[in-house]
Amino acid sequence: MAVTSNASPVSRLGQINKSGDADALFLKTFSGEIITTFETASVILDRHFVRTITSGKSAQFPVLGEAGAKYHTPGASILEGDNAYLSQIAAAEKVITIDDLLIAATFIANIDEAKNHYDVRAEYANKLGYALANAWDKRGLQVGILNARSAATITGQAGGTVLNKGATVATTASVLAAALFEAAASLDNKNVPADGRVAFLRPEQYYLLVQAKDAINKDWGGQGAYSDGTVFRVAGIEIVKTINLPSTNISAVTGEKNTYSGDFTNTVALVQHRSAIGTVKLMDLAFESEYQIVHQGTLMVAKYAMGTGPLRPESSVEISKTAP
């Protein structure tokens, strides 16, 4: 029997309601994979303040000092200034500016996709998602360390803390564990809440702690598993492994509106409370796709516009291998 016309597939998996763009749903799946990968890869996403704005170039974060207390003399007016019953609470502000639009993009040629024997879009989605997540994490961790090196925001209150423990803190588990306890004590002394503390370590130092039996021994209050290579908490601090903790002298990059640059060659760990730093989002993570006839392929772009900056220096502690 002769074929008299072109055959059309009955079902197009990428169409919405059997009409329109045959790739519409495929592209949405790709976008969803980017968001999922971004959220999975980022270690600072839910460990600091994140604020979304609908317009503007920056956001203001008010910072308040502490109130005082005084015994009341019977009959004395609380409103009389010379009695000093009324606390004068100091105030300051931190302004975080939106950086330029950050993008991760790729291009898939039609001919290459036709020849390929596996779904390349899912793999590219992971790459774009990781690129954006890593960029955000790197800047956030750099800000956290710079925050630990900063003076107090409010006059008379505490600034950040840098613990110079010498080179062995990067190579000896017991020294590193002791430094984490010292960091916890420093935060305690500055009235930083215990809940929400986290320590960011590179894989080398993370696995040092795993091998420190006291850090994971339940008889000593440790949390972790030697067999799984995990350590959950030390001194009440959540331990997070990341490859994005800076280890070099980093220069400023065009497009950055906040300060991320600094010398991090001696940084071993960052301990901080979630109140230490903040991120302002103007444009949250989004995805765009465009088929380009002139190039015979599809351009895919993942993007966001946000900025990260310091909030409370007293909430950050840097552990350094600089000599005491």
Taking 80 as the threshold, does the pLDDT of residue 32 lie above it?
no
In a domain, 167, yes or no: yes
In a domain, 246, yes or no: yes
* CATH code for position 219: 3.90.1690
In a domain, 19, yes or no: no
Residue 260 is predicted with a pLDDT of 97
**For range 300-319, the mean pLDDT:** 93
Strands in the chain per DSSP E:
49-52, 58-64, 91-97, 102-109, 161-164, 197-201, 223-225, 230-234, 237-241, 249-250, 262-263, 267-273, 277-292, 297-310, 316-320
The Cβ of residue 80 has, within 10 Å, a number of other Cβ atoms equal to 10
Residue 234 is predicted with a pLDDT of 85
In a domain, 6, yes or no: no
> Among 152, 310, 179, 168, which residue's Cα sits nearest to residue 234?
179
Alpha helices of the chain — where are they, by DSSP H? 24-41, 110-115, 120-148, 173-189, 203-211, 213-216
Separation of CA 320 from chain center = 20
Q: CA torsion 227→230→234→237, rounded to 10°?
A: -160
Please give the structure tokens belonging to residue 147. Answer: 């925050």
Sign of CA dihedral 7, 13, 15, 18: positive
Measuring CA to CA, how many Å separate 296 from each of 8, 109, 114, 123, 291?
23, 6, 12, 20, 8
Alpha helices of 42-119 — where are they, by DSSP H? 110-115
Phi-psi map region of 197: left, alpha, beta (phi>0 left; psi -120 to 50 alpha): beta
Q: Which of 16-30, 86-100, 163-177, 272-286 has the highest mean pLDDT?
A: 163-177
Rounded Cα–Cα distance for residues 91 and 60 (Å): 13
Q: What is the pLDDT of residues 87-145, one digit of tens each?
A: 777 667 788 999 999 999 888 888 877 766 566 777 777 788 888 989 999 999 999 99
In a domain, 2, yes or no: no
In a domain, 277, yes or no: yes
Q: What's the domain range around 155?
A: 24-64+90-320
Q: Identify any residues that bridge with 162 across adjacent strands, giving them in sequence order.
A: 318
Q: Identify any residues that bridge with 239 across adjacent strands, giving them in sequence order.
A: 199
**259-286 burial: b if 16+ Cβ within 10 Å, else e:** ebebebebbbbbbbbbbbbbbbbbeebe
Domain total for the chain? 1
Residue 236's Cβ-count burial label (10 Å; 0-12, 13-18, 19+) is: middle
For residue 7, the one-letter residue type is A
In a domain, 104, yes or no: yes
Please give the structure tokens belonging to residue 241. Answer: 């492994």
Rounded Cα–Cα distance for residues 242 and 232 (Å): 14
Residue 220 is predicted with a pLDDT of 42
Question: Is residue 159 helix, strand or coil?
Answer: coil
Q: What is the pLDDT of residues 133-181, one digit of tens each?
A: 899 999 999 999 999 999 988 777 899 999 999 999 999 998 999 999 9
Give the pLDDT band of residue 40 (cuts 50, 70, 90).
confident
Residue 213 is predicted with a pLDDT of 60
In a domain, 54, yes or no: yes
